[in-house]
Amino acid sequence: MVQVRKPINRLIAPVRALFVSDASAGILLILVAAAAMLAANSPFADEYKQLFYGELRWTPIPKLDDLHLWINDGLMAIFFFVVGLEVKRELICGQLSTPEQRRLPIMAAAAGMIVPALIFVTVVGMDSPLTRGWAIPAATDIAFAMGVLGLLGNRVPASLRLFLLTVAIVDDIGAVLVIAAFYTTGIKMMWLAASVAVFAVMVGMNRFGVRRIWPFVVVALVLWVCVLFSGVHATIAGVVAALTIPMNAKDGHSMLEKLEHGLAPWSAYLVVPVFGFANAGVNLTGMTINEVLAPLPLAIAAGLVIGKQLGIFGIIVAAVKLGIAKAPENANWIEIWGVTILCGIGFTMSLFISGLAFDGSALLIDEAKIGILGGSLISAILGYVVLRLTTKHPEEREVESVTP
Protein backbone atom coordinates (compact mmCIF):
# COMPACT_ATOMS: atom_id res chain seq x y z
CA MET A 1 0.00 0.00 0.00
CA VAL A 2 2.81 2.34 0.92
CA GLN A 3 4.67 1.41 -2.26
CA VAL A 4 1.60 2.24 -4.35
CA ARG A 5 1.37 5.65 -2.73
CA LYS A 6 5.00 6.46 -3.55
CA PRO A 7 4.64 7.07 -7.35
CA ILE A 8 1.28 8.77 -6.82
CA ASN A 9 2.76 11.17 -4.28
CA ARG A 10 5.64 11.93 -6.62
CA LEU A 11 3.21 12.61 -9.45
CA ILE A 12 0.95 15.02 -7.59
CA ALA A 13 3.62 16.75 -5.48
CA PRO A 14 4.44 19.49 -8.05
CA VAL A 15 0.72 20.21 -8.59
CA ARG A 16 0.01 20.27 -4.87
CA ALA A 17 2.98 22.60 -4.34
CA LEU A 18 1.38 25.21 -6.60
CA PHE A 19 -1.26 25.78 -3.94
CA VAL A 20 1.10 25.97 -0.97
CA SER A 21 1.14 29.50 0.45
CA ASP A 22 4.86 30.11 0.04
CA ALA A 23 4.80 28.84 -3.55
CA SER A 24 1.73 30.49 -5.01
CA ALA A 25 3.06 34.06 -4.90
CA GLY A 26 6.27 32.99 -6.64
CA ILE A 27 4.37 31.01 -9.28
CA LEU A 28 2.20 34.04 -9.91
CA LEU A 29 5.32 36.17 -10.49
CA ILE A 30 6.64 33.63 -13.00
CA LEU A 31 3.34 33.76 -14.90
CA VAL A 32 3.27 37.56 -14.75
CA ALA A 33 6.82 37.84 -16.11
CA ALA A 34 5.93 35.47 -18.95
CA ALA A 35 2.76 37.43 -19.68
CA ALA A 36 4.68 40.72 -19.77
CA MET A 37 7.22 39.30 -22.23
CA LEU A 38 4.43 37.93 -24.43
CA ALA A 39 2.58 41.25 -24.37
CA ALA A 40 5.74 43.22 -25.20
CA ASN A 41 6.46 40.99 -28.20
CA SER A 42 2.92 40.50 -29.48
CA PRO A 43 0.87 42.45 -32.05
CA PHE A 44 -0.37 44.41 -29.03
CA ALA A 45 3.11 45.63 -28.05
CA ASP A 46 2.27 49.26 -28.80
CA GLU A 47 -0.89 49.05 -26.71
CA TYR A 48 1.09 47.45 -23.86
CA LYS A 49 3.61 50.30 -23.95
CA GLN A 50 0.91 52.96 -24.29
CA LEU A 51 -1.00 51.53 -21.32
CA PHE A 52 1.85 52.15 -18.92
CA TYR A 53 3.81 55.00 -20.52
CA GLY A 54 1.09 56.96 -22.28
CA GLU A 55 0.42 60.36 -20.71
CA LEU A 56 -2.66 60.42 -18.50
CA ARG A 57 -5.41 62.86 -19.43
CA TRP A 58 -5.76 63.81 -15.78
CA THR A 59 -3.70 63.13 -12.68
CA PRO A 60 -4.02 64.57 -9.16
CA ILE A 61 -0.22 64.85 -8.98
CA PRO A 62 1.28 66.35 -12.17
CA LYS A 63 4.65 64.74 -11.41
CA LEU A 64 3.03 61.32 -11.85
CA ASP A 65 1.71 61.73 -15.38
CA ASP A 66 1.60 58.10 -16.53
CA LEU A 67 0.44 54.78 -15.10
CA HIS A 68 3.97 53.40 -14.85
CA LEU A 69 4.96 56.22 -12.47
CA TRP A 70 1.86 55.69 -10.35
CA ILE A 71 2.73 52.00 -10.05
CA ASN A 72 6.44 52.47 -9.29
CA ASP A 73 6.16 55.54 -7.05
CA GLY A 74 2.70 54.99 -5.58
CA LEU A 75 1.52 51.40 -5.58
CA MET A 76 4.98 50.05 -4.70
CA ALA A 77 4.94 52.18 -1.55
CA ILE A 78 2.51 49.57 -0.21
CA PHE A 79 5.04 46.83 -0.94
CA PHE A 80 7.76 48.78 0.87
CA PHE A 81 5.35 49.48 3.76
CA VAL A 82 4.76 45.73 4.18
CA VAL A 83 8.53 45.14 4.01
CA GLY A 84 9.00 47.74 6.75
CA LEU A 85 6.35 46.10 8.93
CA GLU A 86 7.97 42.70 8.48
CA VAL A 87 11.44 44.05 9.25
CA LYS A 88 10.26 45.79 12.44
CA ARG A 89 8.46 42.68 13.68
CA GLU A 90 11.44 40.44 12.98
CA LEU A 91 13.82 42.84 14.75
CA ILE A 92 11.62 43.14 17.83
CA CYS A 93 10.30 39.63 18.40
CA GLY A 94 11.17 37.53 15.36
CA GLN A 95 14.13 35.78 13.80
CA LEU A 96 16.34 38.88 13.96
CA SER A 97 15.62 39.81 17.57
CA THR A 98 18.88 38.57 19.13
CA PRO A 99 22.53 39.08 18.14
CA GLU A 100 22.95 35.33 17.64
CA GLN A 101 19.99 35.15 15.28
CA ARG A 102 21.05 38.23 13.34
CA ARG A 103 24.71 37.37 12.90
CA LEU A 104 24.66 34.85 10.04
CA PRO A 105 21.78 36.41 8.02
CA ILE A 106 23.41 39.87 8.20
CA MET A 107 26.79 38.51 7.15
CA ALA A 108 25.22 36.46 4.35
CA ALA A 109 23.08 39.32 3.06
CA ALA A 110 26.05 41.73 3.12
CA ALA A 111 28.27 39.31 1.21
CA GLY A 112 25.35 38.60 -1.12
CA MET A 113 25.22 42.29 -2.03
CA ILE A 114 28.93 43.11 -2.12
CA VAL A 115 30.18 40.21 -4.26
CA PRO A 116 27.52 40.58 -7.01
CA ALA A 117 28.25 44.32 -7.13
CA LEU A 118 31.98 43.63 -7.51
CA ILE A 119 31.36 41.11 -10.29
CA PHE A 120 29.05 43.59 -12.03
CA VAL A 121 31.67 46.35 -11.91
CA THR A 122 34.38 43.94 -13.08
CA VAL A 123 32.35 42.94 -16.15
CA VAL A 124 31.29 46.45 -17.23
CA GLY A 125 34.58 48.14 -16.26
CA MET A 126 35.33 50.68 -13.56
CA ASP A 127 35.23 53.64 -15.95
CA SER A 128 31.98 52.67 -17.65
CA PRO A 129 28.83 54.77 -17.14
CA LEU A 130 27.07 51.44 -16.64
CA THR A 131 28.55 51.23 -13.14
CA ARG A 132 25.49 53.17 -11.98
CA GLY A 133 23.67 49.85 -12.11
CA TRP A 134 25.98 48.13 -9.62
CA ALA A 135 23.14 47.48 -7.15
CA ILE A 136 20.84 45.73 -9.63
CA PRO A 137 22.19 42.19 -9.00
CA ALA A 138 22.48 42.81 -5.26
CA ALA A 139 18.80 42.15 -4.46
CA THR A 140 16.95 38.89 -3.76
CA ASP A 141 13.25 38.41 -4.50
CA ILE A 142 11.58 36.81 -1.46
CA ALA A 143 8.38 35.65 -3.16
CA PHE A 144 10.12 34.20 -6.22
CA ALA A 145 12.75 32.33 -4.18
CA MET A 146 10.24 31.02 -1.64
CA GLY A 147 8.03 29.98 -4.54
CA VAL A 148 10.76 27.72 -5.90
CA LEU A 149 11.24 26.25 -2.42
CA GLY A 150 7.49 25.69 -2.26
CA LEU A 151 7.65 23.57 -5.39
CA LEU A 152 9.98 21.22 -3.51
CA GLY A 153 7.38 20.60 -0.82
CA ASN A 154 8.88 19.39 2.46
CA ARG A 155 12.15 18.27 0.91
CA VAL A 156 14.05 21.35 2.07
CA PRO A 157 14.71 21.49 5.85
CA ALA A 158 12.68 24.09 7.71
CA SER A 159 15.90 25.69 8.96
CA LEU A 160 16.93 26.49 5.37
CA ARG A 161 13.54 28.00 4.56
CA LEU A 162 13.88 30.22 7.60
CA PHE A 163 17.46 31.09 6.68
CA LEU A 164 16.46 32.08 3.13
CA LEU A 165 13.61 34.20 4.48
CA THR A 166 15.76 36.04 7.02
CA VAL A 167 18.56 36.65 4.50
CA ALA A 168 16.01 38.05 2.04
CA ILE A 169 14.58 40.34 4.75
CA VAL A 170 18.03 41.69 5.62
CA ASP A 171 18.71 41.98 1.89
CA ASP A 172 15.59 44.15 1.56
CA ILE A 173 16.87 46.42 4.33
CA GLY A 174 20.14 46.79 2.41
CA ALA A 175 18.31 47.48 -0.84
CA VAL A 176 16.22 50.22 0.79
CA LEU A 177 19.34 51.85 2.21
CA VAL A 178 21.05 51.64 -1.19
CA ILE A 179 18.07 53.28 -2.92
CA ALA A 180 17.97 56.08 -0.34
CA ALA A 181 21.75 56.68 -0.40
CA PHE A 182 22.75 56.14 -4.02
CA TYR A 183 19.64 56.69 -6.16
CA THR A 184 18.46 59.96 -4.71
CA THR A 185 18.96 63.09 -6.80
CA GLY A 186 17.90 66.73 -6.68
CA ILE A 187 17.08 66.95 -2.96
CA LYS A 188 14.59 69.71 -2.13
CA MET A 189 15.32 70.68 1.45
CA MET A 190 11.91 72.20 2.20
CA TRP A 191 10.10 69.01 1.26
CA LEU A 192 12.70 66.91 3.05
CA ALA A 193 12.24 68.97 6.21
CA ALA A 194 8.48 68.53 5.88
CA SER A 195 9.01 64.77 5.56
CA VAL A 196 11.04 64.71 8.77
CA ALA A 197 8.35 66.73 10.55
CA VAL A 198 5.57 64.37 9.42
CA PHE A 199 7.66 61.37 10.47
CA ALA A 200 8.08 62.98 13.90
CA VAL A 201 4.29 63.34 14.12
CA MET A 202 3.90 59.60 13.44
CA VAL A 203 6.49 58.78 16.10
CA GLY A 204 4.58 60.99 18.52
CA MET A 205 1.32 59.24 17.67
CA ASN A 206 2.97 55.96 18.60
CA ARG A 207 4.46 57.30 21.83
CA PHE A 208 1.20 58.95 22.97
CA GLY A 209 -0.83 55.81 22.48
CA VAL A 210 -2.83 56.38 19.31
CA ARG A 211 -4.27 52.92 18.63
CA ARG A 212 -6.61 53.50 15.69
CA ILE A 213 -5.30 52.63 12.25
CA TRP A 214 -6.89 55.40 10.19
CA PRO A 215 -4.86 58.32 11.70
CA PHE A 216 -1.64 56.50 10.82
CA VAL A 217 -2.92 55.86 7.27
CA VAL A 218 -3.82 59.51 6.74
CA VAL A 219 -0.50 60.84 8.07
CA ALA A 220 1.40 58.16 6.12
CA LEU A 221 -0.20 59.45 2.90
CA VAL A 222 0.96 62.98 3.79
CA LEU A 223 4.45 61.58 4.40
CA TRP A 224 4.40 59.87 1.00
CA VAL A 225 3.54 63.14 -0.76
CA CYS A 226 6.31 65.01 1.07
CA VAL A 227 8.91 62.35 0.26
CA LEU A 228 7.73 62.22 -3.37
CA PHE A 229 8.51 65.91 -3.84
CA SER A 230 11.67 65.86 -1.72
CA GLY A 231 13.82 64.05 -4.30
CA VAL A 232 14.12 60.89 -2.18
CA HIS A 233 12.28 58.04 -3.88
CA ALA A 234 8.67 58.05 -2.70
CA THR A 235 8.61 54.36 -1.79
CA ILE A 236 11.07 55.03 1.05
CA ALA A 237 8.10 56.68 2.77
CA GLY A 238 6.50 53.24 3.03
CA VAL A 239 9.40 51.82 5.02
CA VAL A 240 9.75 54.90 7.22
CA ALA A 241 6.02 54.98 7.99
CA ALA A 242 6.04 51.27 8.87
CA LEU A 243 8.69 51.82 11.53
CA THR A 244 6.30 54.08 13.46
CA ILE A 245 3.42 51.58 13.64
CA PRO A 246 2.82 50.41 17.26
CA MET A 247 4.00 46.91 18.13
CA ASN A 248 2.51 46.80 21.63
CA ALA A 249 -0.58 44.62 21.86
CA LYS A 250 -3.42 44.97 24.35
CA ASP A 251 -5.81 42.36 22.90
CA GLY A 252 -3.18 39.88 21.78
CA HIS A 253 -2.73 41.40 18.33
CA SER A 254 -0.75 44.59 17.75
CA MET A 255 -1.63 47.18 15.11
CA LEU A 256 1.56 46.20 13.28
CA GLU A 257 0.53 42.54 13.08
CA LYS A 258 -3.00 43.43 11.98
CA LEU A 259 -1.68 45.67 9.21
CA GLU A 260 0.91 43.15 8.11
CA HIS A 261 -1.56 40.27 7.98
CA GLY A 262 -4.11 42.45 6.21
CA LEU A 263 -1.78 43.99 3.63
CA ALA A 264 0.63 41.11 2.93
CA PRO A 265 -1.77 39.23 0.61
CA TRP A 266 -2.61 42.42 -1.29
CA SER A 267 1.10 43.15 -1.68
CA ALA A 268 1.98 39.61 -2.80
CA TYR A 269 -0.98 38.98 -5.09
CA LEU A 270 -1.78 42.43 -6.46
CA VAL A 271 0.90 45.08 -5.94
CA VAL A 272 3.97 43.02 -6.91
CA PRO A 273 2.28 41.25 -9.87
CA VAL A 274 1.02 44.58 -11.26
CA PHE A 275 4.52 46.00 -10.85
CA GLY A 276 6.01 42.92 -12.52
CA PHE A 277 3.64 43.11 -15.48
CA ALA A 278 4.35 46.81 -15.93
CA ASN A 279 8.15 46.43 -15.71
CA ALA A 280 9.16 42.97 -16.93
CA GLY A 281 8.14 43.33 -20.58
CA VAL A 282 11.02 43.71 -23.06
CA ASN A 283 10.45 44.12 -26.77
CA LEU A 284 13.01 41.84 -28.40
CA THR A 285 11.95 42.75 -31.94
CA GLY A 286 14.98 43.95 -33.85
CA MET A 287 17.29 43.31 -30.91
CA THR A 288 20.50 41.62 -32.07
CA ILE A 289 22.45 38.94 -30.25
CA ASN A 290 25.12 41.53 -29.51
CA GLU A 291 22.58 43.59 -27.60
CA VAL A 292 21.25 40.57 -25.72
CA LEU A 293 24.83 39.63 -24.75
CA ALA A 294 25.93 43.23 -24.16
CA PRO A 295 28.06 44.04 -21.09
CA LEU A 296 25.07 45.24 -19.02
CA PRO A 297 22.86 42.11 -19.20
CA LEU A 298 25.91 39.87 -18.86
CA ALA A 299 27.13 41.79 -15.80
CA ILE A 300 23.72 41.58 -14.12
CA ALA A 301 23.27 37.88 -14.91
CA ALA A 302 26.79 37.08 -13.73
CA GLY A 303 26.21 39.03 -10.51
CA LEU A 304 22.98 37.15 -9.80
CA VAL A 305 24.04 33.65 -10.82
CA ILE A 306 27.69 33.66 -9.74
CA GLY A 307 28.00 36.55 -7.30
CA LYS A 308 25.08 35.68 -5.05
CA GLN A 309 26.01 32.06 -4.41
CA LEU A 310 29.72 32.82 -4.23
CA GLY A 311 29.26 35.59 -1.69
CA ILE A 312 26.60 33.96 0.49
CA PHE A 313 27.91 30.39 0.45
CA GLY A 314 31.48 31.59 0.93
CA ILE A 315 30.64 33.68 3.98
CA ILE A 316 28.57 30.85 5.52
CA VAL A 317 31.47 28.42 5.16
CA ALA A 318 33.92 30.95 6.58
CA ALA A 319 31.64 31.89 9.50
CA VAL A 320 30.99 28.26 10.44
CA LYS A 321 34.63 27.16 10.10
CA LEU A 322 35.81 30.12 12.20
CA GLY A 323 33.16 29.52 14.85
CA ILE A 324 31.53 32.91 14.29
CA ALA A 325 28.09 31.44 13.60
CA LYS A 326 26.31 28.10 13.38
CA ALA A 327 25.11 26.56 10.12
CA PRO A 328 21.34 26.01 9.66
CA GLU A 329 20.27 22.87 11.51
CA ASN A 330 19.53 19.53 9.79
CA ALA A 331 21.04 20.70 6.51
CA ASN A 332 24.13 19.50 4.68
CA TRP A 333 26.50 21.70 2.70
CA ILE A 334 25.00 20.81 -0.69
CA GLU A 335 21.53 21.77 0.51
CA ILE A 336 22.88 25.05 1.87
CA TRP A 337 24.59 25.67 -1.48
CA GLY A 338 21.31 25.01 -3.31
CA VAL A 339 19.49 27.61 -1.23
CA THR A 340 22.25 30.18 -1.83
CA ILE A 341 21.77 29.67 -5.58
CA LEU A 342 18.10 30.65 -5.15
CA CYS A 343 19.27 33.93 -3.64
CA GLY A 344 20.27 34.83 -7.21
CA ILE A 345 16.61 35.37 -8.08
CA GLY A 346 16.38 39.16 -8.14
CA PHE A 347 13.10 39.93 -9.87
CA THR A 348 11.13 42.65 -8.03
CA MET A 349 13.80 44.78 -6.34
CA SER A 350 16.27 44.37 -9.21
CA LEU A 351 13.70 45.62 -11.73
CA PHE A 352 12.92 48.50 -9.40
CA ILE A 353 16.57 49.54 -9.02
CA SER A 354 17.22 49.23 -12.77
CA GLY A 355 14.52 51.81 -13.43
CA LEU A 356 16.20 54.19 -10.99
CA ALA A 357 19.73 53.52 -12.23
CA PHE A 358 19.03 54.11 -15.91
CA ASP A 359 16.07 56.44 -15.77
CA GLY A 360 15.65 58.07 -19.18
CA SER A 361 17.44 55.36 -21.17
CA ALA A 362 14.91 52.85 -22.55
CA LEU A 363 17.65 50.75 -24.20
CA LEU A 364 19.68 50.33 -21.00
CA ILE A 365 16.55 49.55 -18.98
CA ASP A 366 15.59 46.87 -21.51
CA GLU A 367 19.10 45.42 -21.42
CA ALA A 368 18.95 45.40 -17.63
CA LYS A 369 15.63 43.56 -17.74
CA ILE A 370 17.16 40.90 -20.00
CA GLY A 371 19.99 40.39 -17.51
CA ILE A 372 17.58 40.27 -14.54
CA LEU A 373 15.15 37.85 -16.15
CA GLY A 374 17.93 35.67 -17.55
CA GLY A 375 19.94 35.58 -14.33
CA SER A 376 16.86 34.98 -12.19
CA LEU A 377 15.65 32.17 -14.46
CA ILE A 378 19.04 30.43 -14.42
CA SER A 379 19.27 30.77 -10.63
CA ALA A 380 15.74 29.42 -10.17
CA ILE A 381 16.29 26.39 -12.41
CA LEU A 382 19.78 25.62 -11.12
CA GLY A 383 18.75 26.01 -7.48
CA TYR A 384 15.68 23.83 -7.99
CA VAL A 385 17.67 21.08 -9.73
CA VAL A 386 20.39 21.04 -7.05
CA LEU A 387 17.84 20.85 -4.22
CA ARG A 388 15.64 18.35 -6.05
CA LEU A 389 18.54 15.98 -6.62
CA THR A 390 20.09 16.31 -3.17
CA THR A 391 17.06 16.33 -0.86
CA LYS A 392 14.43 13.72 -0.08
CA HIS A 393 10.74 14.15 0.68
CA PRO A 394 9.78 12.87 4.17
CA GLU A 395 7.31 10.43 2.59
CA GLU A 396 10.07 8.98 0.42
CA ARG A 397 12.32 8.51 3.43
CA GLU A 398 9.45 6.72 5.20
CA VAL A 399 8.91 4.45 2.20
CA GLU A 400 12.60 3.62 2.02
CA SER A 401 12.68 2.76 5.72
CA VAL A 402 9.83 0.22 5.45
CA THR A 403 10.74 -1.27 2.07
CA PRO A 404 12.80 -4.46 2.40
* CATH code 1.10.150.650 for 65-184+233-396: no
Nearest of 394, 389, 370 to residue 40 by alpha carbon: 370
Q: What is the per-residue burial (b if ≥16 Cβ within 10 Å, else e) of 304-339?
A: bbbbbbbbbbebbeebbeeeebebbeebeeebbbbb
pTM check: above 0.95: no
Q: Maximum distance among all alpha carbons in the chain? A: 77
Computed over every residue of the chain, the mean pLDDT equals 86
Nearest-angstrom CA–CA distance, 31 and 144: 11
Q: Which pLDDT tens digit goes with each residue over 62-74?
A: 999 999 999 999 9
Q: Which pLDDT tens digit goes with each residue over 21-58?
A: 456 887 888 899 899 999 999 999 999 999 999 999 99
pLDDT score of 11: 43
Q: Which pLDDT tens digit goes with each residue over 177-199?
A: 898 888 877 789 999 999 999 99
pLDDT higher than 70, residue 393 = no
pLDDT higher than 70, residue 80 = yes
Domain boundaries, the chain: 65-184+233-396
pLDDT score of 14: 41
Question: Mean per-residue pLDDT for 371-382?
Answer: 94
Nearest-angstrom CA–CA distance, 157 and 45: 43
